[in-house]
Amino acid sequence: MARGQKHKLSESYVGGNVVNPRGAKNAKTQEPTVLLAKDVYYEEGGLQRVYPYFHRFATHAKGRWVGRTIYDVFTKEFRDRPKAYYEMAIEKGIIEINAETVSKDTVIRNGDLVTHFIHRHEPPISTQELRIVKETEDGLLVVDKPGSIPVHPTGRYNYNTVTRVLEMKHGHRALYPINRLDRLTSGLLLVGLNPNIARNIERDLVAHKIQKEYVCRVQGEFPEGRIVCDQPIRVIAHKLALNCVDPSEGKPSLTEFEKLYSENGHSVVYCRPKTGRTHQIRVHLQFLGFPVANDPLYNNEEVWGRAMGKNGALPQLSETSDNVDSEEIKRPSKMVGKCDGDQKNDSWKTLVKRMEDWKDRQDMIEHVNECVGEKGPDVCEKCSNPVLPDPRPDELCIWLHAWRYSGPGWAYETELPEWAQKAVDHIDRVKYCPENETNEA
């Protein structure tokens, strides 16, 4: 569809409101409009897209915001947009405090209402079908989630999420997601259609009565046989979704691995996590020296240094990659005080700093790419912001797939992903069978 063509969602509709981005004082309310999937989604260039729309974000000042300038809060707390955008938005009244236009140096006070009228351009996602594997009579919905799509509305994603697609395209209104999968991870997702089934399965998950089985494609020749990693995992920086093995302060974690086959410098590996830490499989594989081959976070030398986190090795202050300026690493981290624990260890500080710098470089590369060409970047006619470039196919997923979940009296599995098709000849010999195990926790 042509960018300038009109449709219901781009006419500033959100939840029954037509929002004027110039400020809350001029906002208008209309009778709720019924939106259909065709009013929200369209496909173009091999991607599922959402028509841009205005949305009003409003929240009372959080404790950590008090005493800081409005510009400082937005540029450091909401890193999905460049600093230049926030400077423009404050100047034009798109960002307000207590329904009033302010300057970038205005200090936020306790009780202030901070409002952001944002013209949302949701990132596109894969056109791969969100497939319904099974819908049970007692209200369990089993879904095969593609990579690239988050489960819940978060950050820049609202309609391009599992819950909204299930609502808009499949007619499911009340949804209670049970297990969690990262945006880039594909595979089996359990969703309750009522709170009772969700509570029951969550209870079984906590009691370790549900077995989770994954497949992944890692870098290198994974060793033969059953490999167990029981290294404790710690969240280093919540804002950056950064996790690491930490024997002293990490939480108990256990994952079993077994190689299925190898080809072209990669190994396809069966994974069975016994605990449920964030990024557990990815962190344990990195620790073993076999990170997920296309993992942008845990297989990233710019963040982890030359040792790449193997055996828990962290980058040192003096270590730089070819793309990192050593002077930049010496600057204090913006995340100090926002990490799990007091972050006394200089190695943690260095790791977080490298992660921040890497993200900043990605933002800069994205901005430069927008401006390439004689005509410059495509610019949105409604908000005058550059239209971000589409993700490359290799940026839509990582090679980690939730293949099978099983519990008391039930088991569900998905088809194997394209990058692990040969695993069909090997996976039966390793998949979980309760008859073969005793004293299972």
In 3D space, the residue among 389, 217, 188 whose CA is nearest the CA of residue 294 turns out to be 217
Residues 6+ apart with CB under 8 A from 140: 134, 190, 191, 192, 193, 197, 201
Measure the CA dihedral 62/65/69/72, to 10°: -110
- The answer to whether residues 261 and 422 touch, using CB atoms and an 8 Å cutoff, is yes
3-state secondary structure (DSSP) of residue 200: helix
CA 379 remoteness from chain centre? 26
* E strands, 127-221, in order: 131-135, 140-145, 176-177, 186-192, 211-219
DSSP string, 311-369: GG----TT---TTS-HHHHTSPPTTTTSBSS---SHHHHHHHHHHHHHHHHHHHHHHHH
Burial of 5: CB neighbours in 10 Å, binned 0-12, 13-18, 19+? exposed
* Calpha distance 135→172 (Å, rounded): 11
Which H or E element spans position 168? helix 162-170
Specify which residues 114 forms β-bridges with: 59, 97
Active site residue 182: yes
* E strands, 206-254, in order: 211-219, 226-229, 233-237, 242-245
Of 39, 80, 144, 182, the catalytic one is 182
* Paired tokens of 51: 């028509």
> Annotated active-site positions, please?
182
